[in-house]
Amino acid sequence: MADLKLTSVAKSYGDVHVLKNIDLDIKRGELIVFVGPSGCGKSTLLRMIAGLETISGGVLQIDGVPMNEVPASQRGIAMVFQSYALYPHMSVRDNMAFALKIAKKPKAEVDAAIEKAARILQLTPYLDRLPKALSGGQRQRVAIGRAIVRDPKVYLFDEPLSNLDAALRVATRIEIAQLKEQMPDSTMIYVTHDQVEAMTLASRIVVLNGGGIAQVGSPLELYERPENEFVAQFIGSPAMNLLDGEVTATGAVTEVRLAGGGVVRSSVPTEPGLKGAKVRVGIRPEHFTPTDGAAAYKGEVEITEALGEVTLLYFKASGSDAPVIAKLPGIHAGLRHKTLSLSATPDKVHLFRDGRSLMPR
């Protein structure tokens, strides 16, 4: 398995700059997940690593060896695509064996590799079936098995679960997590638009936005310590609430008066010079608590969504099209059109200025 290093990597199509100044170190055995909004370049970056797209600038290294000019077939990389890309007229066994046969590997080696991959992926009973006789989840496992038998340095997954229904996505996501546990030294890079996949599978998440990297960190680091407003709102569902306010007291605990009324206290420390500064206060929906005391936010509930284990409350935010959302555990009936006061503990309140977090790094 391999280490990867991207240094100032860029991608342009003529005058259109898709990616710029991508610096990233990926260590052997990591499962790195690329996430970001549509069009941010995450699949393009994956294809550049694979050798399916040329690199416009910078250097890609695998185990210290520059790869920019190395053909895709010689990089030691296996890719699992969004579409299964299986040969419909070939059995599961032949689909998995195809690349090895092209490489003229001995039959005994091919058979051993297929049996091992089939055992890991629980495909042994299906080896003689055609792809059309398999479910979507089984077909994706065959595509993964086709990658495993090649014993590559790096596995690349390009939104592999997006064609599956919700139940199959959950089951196949668990299978990929179990596969990684069985192959702890394997280096994997995974592209998805699904936050649950990213949060549950990743060793580290790379958040891409505007052609660059917004933040890199473990799932919990991104959730608990977002470095900017974009990551704060992109990670977590529903998104973090961002409220305008003015700093009224500084120190180890910062006090902010919200533009729409209410006062909130944050454990983010600030210097005296920040008093009077305009900031944005970030509170995740799940960190709001109904209160009879001093309120961080007070408003009328416009819409409720009862999901069983939680209830989402939507409030109209003054001066903004985006609602304020509270996420309360359990079932809360009869709250629509009621006025509620909400509080948040200081250690769950984030502060941002000019788009950047004020939380010490």
Tell me what pLDDT residue 318 has: 66
State which H helix or E strand residue 45 sits in. helix 42-50
Q: What is the pLDDT of residue 345?
A: 94
pLDDT digits (tens, 9 = 90+) for 60-106: 999 999 999 999 989 999 998 888 788 999 999 999 999 888 888 89
Q: How far apart are CA 323 and CA 354, in angstroms?
A: 21
130's CB contacts (< 8 A; 6+ apart) are 88, 89, 90, 91, 92
- The per-residue pLDDT for 320 is 65
Tell whether omega for the bond before 238 is within 30 degrees of 0, i.e. cis: yes
Measured between alpha carbons, how far is 147 from 160 in angstroms, rounded to an integer?
A: 13
Domains of the chain: 4-233 (3.40.50.300), 240-357 (2.40.50.140)
Choose among 255, 252, 249: nearest CA to 275.
Answer: 249
What is residue 44's predicted lDDT score, i.e. its pLDDT? Answer: 95
* Residue listed under structure tokens 């010689």: 74
Over the stretch 16-37, which tens digit does the pLDDT of each residue have?
999 999 999 999 999 999 999 9
Q: Which residue, chain included where needed, has tokens 């605990």?
A: 253
Report whether 345 contacts 296 (CB < 8 A): no
**pLDDT of res. 316:** 82
Q: Which residues of the chain have pLDDT under 70?
A: 1, 318-320
pLDDT, residue 315, reads 93
Residue 86 contacts residue 160 (beta carbons within 8 Å): no
State the pLDDT at residue 171: 85
List the one residue out of 161, 89, 148 whose CA is nearest residue 115: 148
At residue 304's C-alpha, the angle toward residues 298 and 309, to 5°, is 110
Give which of 329, 353, 324, 354 is closest to 340, Cα–Cα: 324
- What is residue 216's predicted lDDT score, i.e. its pLDDT? 98
Q: Would you state the pLDDT for residue 68? A: 95
Show Cβ contacts of residue 6 under 8 Å, excluding neighbours closer than 6 positions: 22, 23, 24, 25, 49, 58, 59, 60, 61
At position 77, the amino acid (one-letter code) is I
